[in-house]
Amino acid sequence: MQLSIIGTGYVGLVTGTCFAEVGHQVICVDNDANKVKMLQAGGIPIYEPGLEDLVQKNVAAGRLKFTSSTAEGVQNSDVVFIAVPTPPQVDGSVDLSYIERVARDIAAALTSYKIIVDKSTVPVKTGEKVAETIKRYCTSKVEFDVVSNPEFLREGFAVGDLMKPDRVVVGVASPRPAAAMREVYAPFNAPIIVTDINSAELIKHAANSFLALKISYINAIANVCEAAGANVQEVANGIGLDERIGRRFLNAGIGFGGSCFPKDLSAFIKIAEQIGYDFKLLKEVQRINADQMERFVKKITDTLWVLKDKKIGVLGLAFKQNTDDVRSSPAIDLCLRLAKDGAALRVYDPKAMEKARPLLPNATFVADMNAVAEGCDALVIATEWDEFKQIDLARAKKIMTAPIFFDGRNLFDPAEMEKLGWIYKSVGR
């Protein structure tokens, strides 16, 4: 099929590339001319495992093209996907100005029937507003359908999530676009749920809010474990084997972050409020998440006493492993809190260093994780990169002023660390 993707961020670029990989002809549209030039040359502006090779392969094969012209994308496709940002506003609601602007651009370019697909994460009723906007500004008065097709991609695992989805949700206002959407996703061999647009839009917010709830739940359990002398990992294993619960998203730590969970949680609370429901449960999820960072910072300050002029090494800056995304990163938040209290920071991340530099102008960025500990009064793990498990602990202990280790992601075994002579603090153990 002929497809266009408007927006080449994490969602749009991965979606367009994977659609091309299974044989569709794809035009990706972005209003950033420099980004378009980079993509046309086979480069990508983000780190996502496996994505760069797929972009280069499909550009070379002629299945994947990039342009800065929305009209070109719309007029040369059967299905137009909107994948532009939906950032949070101060009150927690969603800024839909990018969606509205794209809807108007699409309206101006329509000359024949098209299926317009909301891929961005949007509040319920957005599909109706997109349809109204296109109808209002489309001078050619051609027919079109608006569809909701929420994404369920995890940064760091997005290519695999799209190539092998556990489900595809398609929200329609009429039966007409359903067959075409089934054709788009047929190569992926996934269950396709066809529902009304409002339900499809709620599914994404409900899913992300539930996962955030699960993380806050295990963090609350971790606090109980610390008070009771129990081990949160053992508790998580015990409850996670119940197939009704599952083990995923039951890893205690310093809280969730990133561009999705905090934003979607706030948006869902605001959406519920606007239609008359006070979602107190999700407000508590937010409170627990904020409290988790406070508790971890308190562990550090209780141990080191005075942070002023202390040198602290921090491993991890991205909000999670396998990405260079530092948006709403708990690791960055932690660094800022430590720096505010006077600590000097030495930091390292496998992929997120460049994006973190503007956020931490006074930190020392170190090119080797094994050199981060040099001269430090404490070492902190803030992101769960697997490679951090391979840090040379003997070397770190030798080059530090004191062998103090704060593990915000529970990557090491407490008994083993104690045996090696470390003062070791983790979460819920």
41-80, pLDDT tens digit by residue? 888 999 999 999 999 999 999 999 999 999 999 999 999 9
Q: Are residues 208 and 317 in the same domain?
A: yes
Q: Are residues 130 and 213 in the same domain?
A: no
CA–CA distance, 163 with 14 (Å, rounded to integer): 10
Q: Are residues 271 and 314 in the same domain?
A: yes
Q: Where are the alpha helices (DSSP H) in 171-279?
A: 178-185, 197-228, 232-240, 261-274
**CATH number of the domain to which 410 belongs:** 3.40.50.720
Q: Are residues 353 and 215 in the same domain?
A: yes
Q: Are residues 314 and 385 in the same domain?
A: yes
List active site positions. 260
Q: Are residues 347 and 416 in the same domain?
A: yes
Per residue in 252-264, pLDDT (tens digit) is 999 999 988 999 9
Q: Are residues 174 and 68 in the same domain?
A: yes
Q: Are residues 121 and 154 in the same domain?
A: yes
The answer to whether 81 and 149 are in contact (CB under 8 A) is yes
Per residue in 90-138, pLDDT (tens digit) is 888 889 999 999 999 999 999 999 999 999 889 889 999 999 999 999 9
Bridge pairing between strands 344-348 and 423-425? unpaired
Q: Which of 190, 217, 252 is the last residue of a domain?
A: 190
The answer to whether 322 and 153 are in contact (CB under 8 A) is no
- Phi/psi at 352 (5° precision): -105, 10
Looking at residue 141, its pLDDT comes to: 84
The mean of the pLDDT values for the chain is 96
Provide the residue count of the chain: 429
Per residue in 147-176, pLDDT (tens digit) is 999 999 999 999 999 999 999 999 999 999
Percent of the chain with pLDDT over 90: 93
Evaluate whether residue 195 is within a structural domain. Answer: no
Q: Are residues 151 and 210 in the same domain?
A: no
Please state the separation of Cα 248 from the chain's center in Å. Answer: 16
The answer to whether 59 and 225 are in contact (CB under 8 A) is no
- Phi/psi at 300 (5° precision): -65, -50
Q: Which of 164, 190, 216 is the last residue of a domain?
A: 190
Give 212's contacts (C-beta < 8 A, 6+ positions apart): 256, 261, 264, 265, 282, 285, 289
CB-count exposure of residue 238 (10 Å: 0-12, 13-18, 19+): exposed
The answer to whether 422 and 398 are in contact (CB under 8 A) is no
Per residue in 189-225, pLDDT (tens digit) is 999 999 999 999 999 999 999 999 999 999 999 999 9
CA–CA distance, 32 with 40 (Å, rounded to integer): 12
Q: Are residues 36 and 137 in the same domain?
A: yes
Q: Where are the alpha helices (DSSP H) in 305-377?
A: 330-340, 353-356
Looking at residue 41, its pLDDT comes to: 87
Range of the domain at 264: 201-429
Evaluate whether residue 137 is within a structural domain. Answer: yes
Q: Are residues 132 and 242 in the same domain?
A: no
Q: Which of 144, 167, 190 is the last residue of a domain?
A: 190
The answer to whether 198 and 127 are in contact (CB under 8 A) is yes
